Amino acid sequence: MTDASATSRLDALRADIEFTATLRDQQLRFRSTWGLFSPREVDSGSRLLLDFIEVGEAADCLDLGCGYGVIGLTLARLVPGGRTLLVDKDFVAVDYARRNADLNGLANVEVRLSNAFSHIGADEQFDLIASNIPARAGNEMLELMVADAAAHLRPGGRLYIVGLTGMRQFVRRLMERHLGDYEKLKQGRDYTVAVSQRT
């Protein structure tokens, strides 16, 4: 490979990845980059989660671990009368989620750098929290995520989680422990979607 072709290849790798996806009948544009989760297309777990979420048009939503914004920006499009907060611990993900909110003309969105709930105020409450939980986060962090989600849900609010099917029993125990409620919405070969409702 010549120096010129190697440089051209590296320049191409450094360029933003751009694609369009239709999610819940909403067409959204995304920009991402290497190093972020599923940078070239919407992953099947997020798609599955979005298929099963029920949300009102004025709900306040939280996308926990937003990546470049797939779940949160879809929710923002579905809830024009509410507000949607997207958080991630990765500053690159937060940057791309902000850019994607602007790219799609979504003004009812806030994107924030936060390690789960670490930068979410104790008084901030949501009608819906959704997360494509990271398999490598560790059991301790996953328990903190579910426990803190329970504390930030309004009465009647729902926590939706999609995770690897092999984690489903652990997720069930966490949801039952901290919310007293668990419903499996869909179990597939790779991913399982579950919901808990705060009473």
pLDDT for 15-25, tens place per residue?
999 999 999 99
pLDDT for 86-128, tens place per residue?
999 999 999 999 999 999 999 999 999 999 999 999 999 999 9
pLDDT for 13-49, tens place per residue?
899 999 999 999 999 999 999 999 999 999 999 999 9
pLDDT confidence of 135, banded at 50, 70, 90?
confident
Domain region containing 64:
3-197
Whole-number Å distance between alpha carbons of 198 and 196: 7
pTM of the model: 0.95
Number of domains in the chain: 1
For residue 187, what is the domain's CATH number? 3.40.50.150
Candidates 58, 66, 117, 116; CA nearest to 96 is 66
